[in-house]
A and B are shown apart, each in its own frame.
Chain A
Amino acid sequence: MRLYFKYMSILFKSQMQYRTSFLLLCAGQFFVPFAVFAAMYFLFERFGGLPGWTFHEAALCFGVIQMAFALAECFVRGFDAFSNLIVRGGFDRLLVRPRGTVIQVLGSNFEFTRFGRMLQSAVVLGIAVNGLSIAWTPAKIITLLLMIIGGVVVFSGIYILAATFCFWTVQGLEVANIFTDGGREMAQYPLDIYAKWVTRFFTFIIPFGAVSYLPLLYILGRADGPDLLCMAMPLASLLFLAPCLAVWRIGVRHYRSTGS
């Protein structure tokens, strides 16, 4: 764990060398999702609302998912950018070190410019919380945090799966974008507005639903099931992560028997 922080600090120092570029990219990372948020706002303005959801409720959902995405993009960047690493022979370098591959890949890259997106998500969450009249209890706050963490876990799992594909096809899979960018675009709206099969897929297979839907209902005070279940739902994301890591190990084994 300490090693992870050491990796982080060396890469932070690295990226800070290019200050202007960093700040500009950060700004970009703020405005791009902000444009999407603006779109949401304009659409709500024109249509008056979504079936069963007000603007501020949807904004809460939006903020949570965007924050989870930003955190994942920042801290799990090593897997997201894995195709770069492997193409430049960097993975061999990792294999020659006496540490596990996962921790080293995680430590190989951080994208601190995603702070811009994190800031944007924080702003959105602020707007949402401000516009909603929720009785905030410690339990609800914990749930909110768990939602974000759960989201990070889900995105991380997808990144790991996508990175594993790099072992087979040199360029990795753009398909992963469907689930990361696509997943984000989709999950940022409350899940029940979508067709049944979408909701089901994104609850049971890639569990965004567990992370953003049920706990959201709980926070808004509209949950059906037992409170504790709704609160703990985000932990289901760990069930998704485990098989992703297993697939990663298979990928590493394949790389080591076929070379780069």
Chain B
Amino acid sequence: MKFVFFHLMPYPYLPDDFDESYPSPSLTFPNKHFDRELGNRLYHRYLDELENAEKLGFDGIAVNEHHQSAYGLMPSPNIMAAALARRTERAQIMVLGNAIGIRGNPLRVAEEIAMLDHLSNGRVVSGFVRGIGWEYFASGVNPTRSRDRFNEAHDLIIKAWTSEEPFQWISPNYEYRYVNLWPRPVQEPHPPIYIPGAGSTETMKFVAEHGHTYMSVYAPTPLVRRWFDGHRQAVEELGMEHDPVKSAFSVPIYVAETDEKAHREGRQHIEWLFHRGLKQSFPQVYPPGYMSPGSMRGMLMSGMKPYTETSYEELLAGGYAVVGSPETVTARLTELQAQLGFGQLIGLFSIGDITSDEMSRSMELFANQVMPALRPLGVANRVTAAS
């Protein structure tokens, strides 16, 4: 099992009337609620937590991109990755990912990831995401072009990383008469690529064909199982052996000494994440054209409730989050691994309005008592873990 310490860098200090007065912490939640001093401290606390994760034995430390939101404070994940690159030595620096669907200039992403690969001495992982629906409102990019832009930018960036001669690039959304990337990345042929999936069979096939890693998003276990099975099948249909490490399970985790304590402390943080952080309207998540007709039908038929209507108990029972003592968390993740077959665990430990102390204790308990027990799971026969 490969262990990733993932951070969202949330802004937890919401006003008391948030639940009644604001439809979402994203896009329209006024930025006057960002306290400059508190926000400043958060960045340093969060970066400390990521650095500490390496010391505790996590194989990767991960950041991501969100815009105009208290849900996550990293409009530029590459800046966070740069801050980590020279303060760490061993862990992979994972950008999960750059929202190439909304970037005006995808070559800039190719350049920055290549630079990060040098700053980190070849430890960079490059995730590509489309960006959440509201970020199409926040950027002006037309969501009906989202998938095409994503695919074109993906192909362009890989070609830019791997080509040894200048080339011309013309696709419906991008035109460059000269592409000639300096620097080339350290890793050959290029940094590993991670892509999230949420049920689209096109994405499963796309990830399989390119040999990328498939990441889940927060969803009930039966759905995630269908996605992981679909991806694994897509790999096998290409005549290749599926390496479990390329199925990466994303889940918030809170560990305390006892189950009772874990629930007493953890409930509020899990609820913050799903009921406040992820409070968002239908059009904010699914702007027109963001979903293909087939994916939209699948989503409507899946019967998945909005996060805000899913109770703490349902979130735990559904496998959206894992909370408990080290023994309970070990048993639960072992069970989920057996059901889902993942070989990589992307844990979110800094959950919502968690305190720094709770967070440190949770990740230490996890690293010392849960990680060793899970380490042998999800390893392919002929492939070593923590690739």
A binds B: no
Q: Which B residues are closer than 8 A to A by beta carbons? A: none
